[in-house]
Chains A and B, each alone.
Chain A
Amino acid sequence: MNESTVVTEQKLGGRSGPFTLASLLSRYGMLLVLIALMILMSLLTPTFLTADNLLNIVRQMSVVGIVAIGVTFVIITTGIDLSSGSVIALVSVVVATLAHPGEYPLVLTILAGLGIGVLTGLINGTIIAKGKIAPFIVTLGMMTAARGAALLYTGGRPIGNLSDSFRFIGQGSLLGIPVPILIFLFVGVVSYLLLNKTKFGKYIYAIGGNEQAARIAGINVDKYKIMLYAYAGLLSSVAGIILTSRIASGQPTAGTMYELDAIAAAVIGGTSLAGGIGTIGGTIIGALIIGVMNNGLDLLNVSSYWQQILKGAIITTAVLIDSRKNRRK
Chain B
Amino acid sequence: MNPDYILELTNITKEFPGVKALDNIQLKVRKGTVHALMGENGAGKSTLMKIIFGIYTPDRGTIKYKGEEVKLSGSKDALRLGISMIHQELTPVPEMTVAENLFLGREPTKSFGWIRKKKMVEDARKLFDSLKIDIDPNARMADLSIANMQMVEIAAAVSRNADLIIMDEPTSAITEREVERLFGMIASLKAKGVTIIYISHKMDEIFRICDEITVFRDGQFVGSKPAGELNPESLIQMMVGREIKQVFHKDEAPIGEVLLSVKNLTRKGKFRKVSFEVRSGEILGIAGLMGSGRTEVVESLFGIVPPDEGEIFVKNERAHIRSPQDAIRYKMGLLTEDRKATGAFLPLSVKDNMIVSSIDGYLNRAGLLKGRLVNDMCGAFVERLNIKTPSLNQQIGRLSGGNQQKVLLARWLLSNPDVLILDEPTRGIDVGAKAEIHKLMSRLAKTGKAIVMVSSELPEILGMSDRIVVMHEGEKKGELTRAEASQEKIMELVYR
Contact = CB atoms under 8 A, between A and B. Distances in A.
Which of A213, A275, A276 neighbours the largest number of chain B CB atoms within 10 Å of its CB? A213
Interface string B336-375: 1000011111111001100111011001000111011001
B383 A8 contact: yes
Interface in A1-35: 1-2, 4-8, 10-12
A51 interface: no
A4 B383 CA distance: 11
A218 B382 contact: no
Interface string B366-394: 01110110011001001100111111110
A47 interface: no
A276 B345 contact: yes
Interface string A53-82: 000000000000000000000000000000
Contacts of A324: none
Contacts of B327: 218
Task: Assign chain B's interface to a size class.
Answer: 35 or more
Contact of B356 (A10, A193, A217): A217
A218 B387 CA distance: 24
B302 interface: yes
A197 interface: yes
Interface string A184-224: 00000000010001110011011011101111111110000
Contact of A4 (B342, B352, B369, B379): B379
Interface of B is mostly: mixed
Contact of A276 (B304, B346, B360, B391): B346
A322 to B, nearest CB: 12
A327 interface: no
Contacts of A272: 347
A199 B348 contact: no
Contacts of B386: 8
B347 A277 contact: yes
A216 B301 CA distance: 12
Contacts of B383: 7-8
Contacts of A214: 345, 356
B325 interface: yes
Contacts of B397: 329
B389 A8 contact: yes
B359 A202 contact: yes
Contact of B391 (A1, A193, A205, A210): A1
A329 to B, nearest CB: 6
B387 A8 contact: yes
A276 B356 CA distance: 14
Interface of B: 302, 304, 323-325, 327-328, 334, 336, 341-348, 351-352, 355-357, 359-360, 363, 367-369, 371-372, 375-376, 379, 382-383, 386-393, 395, 397-398, 411, 415
Given A206-B345, A215-B324, A217-B357, 17 more contacts: A1-B393, A2-B372, A7-B379, A8-B383, A8-B386, A8-B389, A11-B388, A193-B368, A198-B367, A199-B360, A199-B367, A202-B356, A205-B348, A209-B348, A210-B344, A213-B336, A217-B356
16 contacts: A4-B379, A5-B392, A199-B360, A199-B363, A202-B352, A202-B369, A203-B356, A203-B359, A208-B347, A209-B346, A210-B343, A212-B341, A213-B341, A213-B345, A218-B328, A219-B356
